Amino acid sequence: MSLKFLKPTTPGQRGTVLVDKSHLWKGNPLKKLISKSKSTGGRNNQGKITSRRMGKGAKRKYRIIDFKRDKFDVYGEVTRIEYDPNRSAFINLIKYEDGEFRYILSPQGISIGDKIISSQKADIKEGNSLPIKNIPNGTNIHNIELKPGAGGQLVRSAGTSAQILSKEEIFAQIKLVSGEIRLVNKNCFATIGVVSNPDNKNVKLGKAGRKRHLGFRPKVRGVVMNPVDHPHGGGEGRTSGGRHPVTPWGKSTKGKKTRNNKKTNMFILKRRKK
């Protein structure tokens, strides 16, 4: 993976940094593994905006990803590495020995022709999926389940990985990307390796239009609005500050804790870094 620095032949290309995708599959995705994906534009069934700053963006087809990795003890071969517009990581098309095709998240360092497997006693190798209880401490993992058989929910974005710190009777201690240390059931499956496309964090879009194509609309700051439109609005000349930051509806923001899931507090040993 490498970055692509554009030559500024136009103003929009000045300062633009993109990920080089020349090694990815150039054709269309596998037809039987895609489904329709419709953008809401942030509107509900009444046509009212309930989530601001969302726009249509470019059309996308959803790739059906195998997060469960529940095809056990059957070897699969990586036939191609593809771009997925719905996520920051790349994906792999896997052809299994029985002829079935599936998409999985692409781990870093995997190449076309490599073999992968999902099994209780799989080798500790990039792309293999096995229970946490059979993975050595200190191993980098991703696509981690929170409930056995539910499918991977944690550590799925580009360049991320978690680390197994220790194992107890029922739970394993996992250090997540944020620095949080969390208890996860040892019978949950996880995939070995680091998620692909680590350079995604270094991308600079270069122009507003590229952001619009991703489905984002412009953001207007509250301090430039009128008092009728936002609690931060109004004042003589340019004023900012002097108030605790709030949303347009008066709720505290920018640092106020919003987590309200008390049921899983017992599984979090150490909170994420501030």
Tens digits of per-residue pLDDT, 143-173? Answer: 999 999 999 999 999 999 999 999 999 999 9
* pLDDT classification of 238: cutoffs 50, 70, 90: confident
Which pLDDT score is estimated for 1? Answer: 61
DSSP string, 82-118: E--TTSSS-EEEEEETTS-EEEEEPBTT--TT-EE-B
Q: Residue 61's pLDDT band (boundaries 50, 70, 90)?
A: very high
Predicted local confidence at residue 83, as pLDDT: 97
Which residue bears the tokens 């905006």? 49
E-state strands within 168-242: 171-175, 181-185, 189-192
Higher pLDDT, residue 205 or 242: 205
Q: Which CATH number fits domain 225-265: 3.20.20.140, 3.40.50.10490, 3.20.20.70, 4.10.950.10?
A: 4.10.950.10
Residue 124 · residue 139 · CB < 8 Å? yes
Q: How far apart (Å, rounded) are the C-alpha atoms in residues 83 and 65?
A: 13
105 has pLDDT over 80: yes
Per the DSSP assignment, residues forming a β-bridge with 93 are 80, 103
The domain limits of the chain are 3-201, 225-265
Q: How confident is the model at residue 56 (pLDDT cuts 50, 70, 90)?
A: confident
The answer to whether the predicted template modeling score (pTM) of the entire model surpasses 0.85 is: yes
CATH of domain 3-201: 2.40.50.140
Asked if the model's pLDDT at residue 124 lies above 70, the reply is yes
Distance between CA atoms of 160 and 196, rounded to whole angstroms? 8
| Residue 248: per-residue pLDDT | 94
